[in-house]
């Protein structure tokens, strides 16, 4: 390695953790010049608020930054390849997120396959094809490419020590997060799994405890995903699509924020809490929510999953009134087949 002065240094260590993170991805036909066609990195330091911002990608990054610039006054157009938003989350969340963001002024163009992005002076033209194959053009003064991120594993010299990344650039690891080379571990965005800071944190602690001889454990299904728009969206556990794919015998329960006293007082009535539970045992399988403070409320859901609670367990617990957390209790009541108290 080289220090800031350019001098080479050699560091000897018994254990090494690769945690170099990730960088923005792009798509064929679109080149990020970092001036007009930008990534999330440049979007955080623009010197002006775009008059019209085109966002390629309706995932977490695109919606978060798109909603920020919408609140700052930009006209925001979101162009998404799939027929839904935030595809990694429960499908019901994507529909609700689209509804309230559209109400806030964002424009959505789903099932559009972007072909190119062309810069001319201070304007950007994005060409795409809709689901019928018809060519559509979008124009703006900036284009944000938010189509995901890829592992930062290039130029690390992995080939020199025998570590071979997969086709996506991710480093293969075993159940101890150890690579094919003994004593070298990898965590976070450079390995498979969700690209989440708190996932990487859990993995870092996991490896540190493993190195000192402890027997740690990570339940990846109990790591929540959060969308920081307003209202927020969050989910943990199985999605309904996943349960359907496995022909799982499950039941659902839900409760709308518009029937929640605290939400009505604060005028944050968009959203709901949705519970998925085992139809036979009542064990909670997944909890998904859209609404005010969802990023904080999801912590109760994580506890419920970690302790393998039943919907009735949570439904019988006292929740302070008036709070947003009451929506979780009410959704649990619905999942058990009992009528929610306040609807």
Are 171 and 212 within one domain? yes
Span 194-207, pLDDT tens digits: 999 999 999 999 99
Q: C-alpha distances in angstroms, 88 versus 70, 82, 161, 240, 311?
A: 23, 11, 34, 11, 24
Are 87 and 169 within one domain? no
Span 265-282, pLDDT tens digits: 999 999 999 999 999 999
Q: Which residues, 6 or more positions from 242, have their beta carbon under 8 angstroms from its beta carbon? A: none
The tally of domains found in the chain comes to 3
The structure tokens listed for 254 are 């839900």
Are 82 and 113 within one domain? yes
Span 99-124, pLDDT tens digits: 999 999 999 999 999 999 999 999 99
Last residue of a domain, one of 122, 149, 176: 149
Residue 145 lies in a domain: yes
Give the model's pLDDT for residue 9: 86
Domain of 244? 222-335
Residue 2 lies in a domain: no
- For the entire predicted model, the pTM comes to 0.92
Residue 9 lies in a domain: no
Query: What percent of the chain clears pLDDT 70, i.e. is strictly above it?
Result: 100
Span 58-72, pLDDT tens digits: 999 999 999 999 999
Residue 39 lies in a domain: yes
Are 144 and 38 within one domain? yes
Residue 18 lies in a domain: no
Confidence of residue 42 (pLDDT cuts 50, 70, 90): very high
Cβ neighbour number for residue 260 with a 10 Å cutoff? 28
Give the model's pLDDT for residue 4: 82
Residues 188-200: b if buried by 16+ CB within 10 A, e if exposed: bbbbeeebbeebb
The structure tokens listed for 4 are 């800031």
Are 31 and 118 within one domain? yes
Query: Is residue 88 predicted with pLDDT exceeding 80?
Result: yes
217 catalytic, yes or no?
A: no
Determine which helix (DSSP H) or strand (DSSP E) holds 197, and give its type and residue range.
helix 197-211
Last residue of a domain, one of 149, 172, 193: 149
Point out the catalytic residue in the list 15, 112, 321, 342.
321
């Amino acid at each position: 390695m080289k220090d800031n002065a350019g001098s080479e240094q050699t560091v000897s260590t018994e254990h090494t953790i690769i945690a170099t993170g990730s960088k923005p991805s792009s798509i064929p036909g679109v080149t990020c010049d970092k001036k007009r066609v930008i990534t999330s990195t440049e979007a955080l330091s623009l010197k002006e608020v775009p008059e019209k911002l085109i966002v390629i990608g309706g995932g977490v990054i695109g919606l978060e930054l798109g909603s920020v610039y919408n609140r700052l006054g930009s006209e925001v157009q979101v162009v998404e390849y799939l027929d839904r938003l935030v595809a990694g989350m429960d499908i019901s969340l994507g529909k609700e997120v689209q509804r309230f963001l559209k109400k806030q002024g964002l424009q959505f163009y789903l099932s559009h396959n972007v072909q190119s992005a062309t810069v001319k002076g201070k304007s950007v033209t994005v060409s795409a094809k809709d689901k019928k194959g018809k060519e559509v053009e979008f124009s703006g003064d900036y284009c944000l490419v938010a189509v995901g991120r890829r592992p930062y594993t290039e130029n690390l010299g992995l080939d020199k020590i025998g570590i071979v990344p997969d086709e996506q650039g991710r480093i293969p690891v075993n159940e101890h997060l150890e690579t094919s080379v003994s004593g070298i571990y990898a965590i976070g965005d450079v390995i498979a799994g969700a690209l989440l800071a708190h996932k990487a944190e859990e993995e870092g602690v996991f490896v540190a405890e493993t190195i000192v001889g402890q027997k740690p454990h990570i339940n990846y299904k109990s790591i929540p995903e959060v969308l920081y728009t307003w209202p927020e969206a969050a989910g943990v556990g199985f999605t309904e699509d996943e349960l359907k794919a496995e022909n799982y015998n499950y039941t659902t329960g839900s409760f709308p924020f518009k029937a929640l006293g605290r939400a009505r007082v604060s005028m944050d009535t968009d959203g709901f809490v949705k519970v998925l539970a085992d139809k036979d045992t009542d064990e909670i399988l997944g909890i998904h929510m859209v609404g005010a403070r969802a990023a904080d409320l999801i912590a109760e859901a994580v506890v419920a999953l970690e302790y393998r609670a039943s919907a009735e367990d949570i439904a019988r617990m006292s929740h302070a009134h008036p709070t947003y957390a009451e929506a979780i209790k009410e959704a649990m009541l619905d999942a058990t087949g009992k009528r929610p108290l306040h609807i």
